[in-house]
Structure 1
Amino acid sequence: MVRVNGVVCPEGAFQVGPFDRVECGSEVLQARVARSLMLHKPLGVVSATSDLEHRTVVDLIGEPWATELHLAGRLDRFTSGLLILSNDSSLTEALTEPGRKLGKRYRVTCDGDVTPEIVVAFEKGIWFAKEQVATQPAQVELLSGRQCLLTIYEGKHHQVKRMFARFDVKVTALHRETMGPLSLDPALQPGEWRMLTADELQLCSFHRAEKA
């Protein structure tokens, strides 16, 4: 009487995945749908599933199933750009597990020049006394005197802003363009989202398999 994904399953010890459809006779016991999406997070929105004061990224999705989603990393309220949400924990772990050291690229605008001294220090690593740890060597691509593309390989609290603050430079705009193998779709306007494509999901699967 038991079917998994439409196939009769006589094995009581059969391993059932979180998104397998399980039926017993006419009763559906499990029918979760895997959902993973990218969102162009706008400024002023909180990276959370709920918040008493501010609009959240889940509010932007506006679907009844959005409450099932969790975030693959966060962006603070005043940072925009790529955010990944999913109800598949294996995917979010593949993008955020520290041991994978997946790069996250940000477009950074500052109130002062990104000097050669800053570039050298970032590429070497910055000591954070609070965590008693040095940042992983970052990659810096200068776009202009006060703007650069910065790729970091961890996600400490307000990391980018703290790195620049070490040199008395204030970050005035911060926008995430990439996260691991995924890039923000340029067709998405702030506040818009779309499901990950089959190719994008395959890229994430590759990173899961690579770690295993």
Structure 2
Amino acid sequence: MSKPFSDTSVRLDFFVSHTLGLSRKDAKVLITKGQISVNDTVTKKANHTVTHQDLVKHRDDLLAWPRDKYFVLNKPAGYVCATEDGQHPVVLDLIATHEQKDLRVVGRLDMDTTGLLLLTTDGQWLHRITSPKSDCFKQYRVWCADDITDEAIKQLELGVQLKSEEQPTKPAKVVRVTSHEILLSISEGKYHQVKRMLAALGNKVVRLHRESIAEVALGDLEEGQYRELTDAEVALF
């Protein structure tokens, strides 16, 4: 899915729907009632095409061309990385209602995993981060049930052969914090990868927290809070 306004032109009902937060049906009603003008001319055709150069107004209010949204969220445990779920709370519940439209989760964290999560309306940007070709490092703080040996760290840095995978993982970056805690940076996003890597080495992850993706970090962002990415952070990807 491409980002909503990546094209040079869109239908008028699509534009009005997104700028006013309406359904396409309600947007069409406004248009057919003559409440929308394009370049100071009332336009009653929902399929009329508008571009960034057009001035679109609802009555006398100028409708600004929407920008894509880019958020970083400090995900608490217990939330599912989805837009909706019938059994559990989802991460979109932590985002203000008026900001939720068209937001998508960039990658996933398990329900019990905490930490940095990116959300955006920009499908192309999302793909650049999640693509296997991106080599985008993600840093996790990992707590294990047993001591993390020097040999285990060497193996993580070389690559670990996971069950049901043809190739070992790409080399990881590892910093020992305590005997049971490490900072682990990986450039892949295989299913349950961190937990599977430690399991393959005979250990068990008891707690997992993502601290950063590339140079985007949580900083002092409290659990359950989110913020907009800066233009420089968006440009990293």
TM-score (norm 2): 0.73
Select the structure with the greater relative contact order (CA < 8 A; seq sep ≥ 6).
Answer: 1
Q: Select the residue among 126, 130, 145 that pairs with 1:111.
A: 145
What does residue 108 of structure 2 align with? Answer: 74
What does residue 188 of structure 1 align with? Answer: 221
Distance in 1, Cα, partners of 2:57 & 2:70: 29
Give unmatched runs, 5+ long, in structure 1.
1-14, 205-212
> Are 2:75 and 2:91, in contact at CA under 8 Å, matched by a contact in 1?
yes
- Match status 1:23 vs 2:54: yes
Letter in 2 for 1:16: T
How far did 1:21 drift?
3.8
How far did 1:64 drift?
2.7
Per-residue CA deviations over 1:9-34 (Å, capped at 9, x if unaligned) read xxxxxx61789646377579993331
Q: Aligned to 1:172, what secondary structure does the other structure show?
A: strand
Letter in 2 for 1:196: L
Distance in 1, Cα, partners of 2:87 & 2:72: 24
Letter in 2 for 1:200: E
User: Which deviates more from structure 2 when the two are superposed, residues 60-69 or residues 148-157?
Assistant: 60-69
Letter in 2 for 1:95: I
TM-score (norm 1): 0.81
How far did 1:115 drift?
0.3
CA gap of 1:22–1:59, structure 2 versus 1, over 3 A, is farther
What does residue 58 of structure 1 align with? Answer: 92
Cα root mean square deviation, aligned:
2.3
Distance in 2, Cα, partners of 1:189 & 1:25: 39
**1:82-121 residue pairs with structure 2 within 5 A?**
82-121=116-155
Q: Which has the larger radius of gyration?
A: 2
Distance in 2, Cα, partners of 1:97 & 1:91: 10
> Are 1:128 and 1:134, in contact at CA under 8 Å, matched by a contact in 2?
yes
Q: Select the residue among 171, 193, 202 that pairs with 1:168.
A: 202
Give unmatched runs, 5+ long, in structure 2.
1-6, 16-50
What does residue 11 of structure 1 align with? Answer: none
Distance in 2, Cα, partners of 1:99 & 1:80: 25
CA gap of 1:17–1:97, structure 2 versus 1, over 3 A, is farther
> Are 2:161 and 2:200, in contact at CA under 8 Å, matched by a contact in 1?
no
CA gap of 1:90–1:23, structure 2 versus 1, over 3 A, is same
> Are 1:105 and 1:179, in contact at CA under 8 Å, matched by a contact in 2?
yes
CA gap of 1:26–1:174, structure 2 versus 1, over 3 A, is closer
What does residue 19 of structure 2 align with? Answer: none
Distance in 2, Cα, partners of 1:125 & 1:26: 57
Identity of aligned residues (%): 37
Distance in 2, Cα, partners of 1:62 & 1:101: 32
How far did 1:94 drift?
2.1
How far did 1:89 drift?
1.5
Q: Aligned to 1:113, what secondary structure does the other structure show?
A: coil
> Are 1:43 and 1:77, in contact at CA under 8 Å, matched by a contact in 2?
yes
Letter in 2 for 1:187: D
Distance in 1, Cα, partners of 2:193 & 2:72: 22
How far did 1:168 drift?
2.4
